[in-house]
Amino acid sequence: MSTTPEEAAAESPLTNPEFREQLRELPPSAKLVAKVLEGASPLSQGQLAEESLLPDRTVRYALNRLEEEELVGSRYSFHDARKQVYYLTE
């Protein structure tokens, strides 16, 4: 079962007003990481750094802030159990 881009956008947490309000108070790096995760998820910290063009350290800070607000979740990667991957929460 596939979804159209419009359906995928409608399902995105970034369309949720409550999610957006929490995100509004965070630094720009956290907003960028959330936007990257909206398009392609789940991603590792390294993949997020590559996609966002932010330094690894900045991505880690952004992820920590997003996790504190419970806007991002993480789990171990199915491809490499040594890595965690991140995704937007509902």
Whether 52 has a pLDDT exceeding 70, the answer reads yes
**Which pLDDT score, from 0 to 100, does residue 28 have?**
96
- Predicted TM-score (pTM) of this structure: 0.82
44-51: average pLDDT: 95
pLDDT bucket at 40, cuts 50 / 70 / 90: confident
The residue ranges of every structural domain in the chain are 5-88
- Per residue in 24-61, is it b (16+ CB within 10 Å) or e — as a string? eebeebbbbbbebbbeeebbbbebbbebbebeeebbbb
d(CA 2, CA 81): 28
* Among 4-8, 26-30, 54-58, 69-73, the least confident range: 4-8
**Which pLDDT score, from 0 to 100, does residue 41 have?**
81
Domain boundaries 5-88, corresponding CATH code: 1.10.10.10
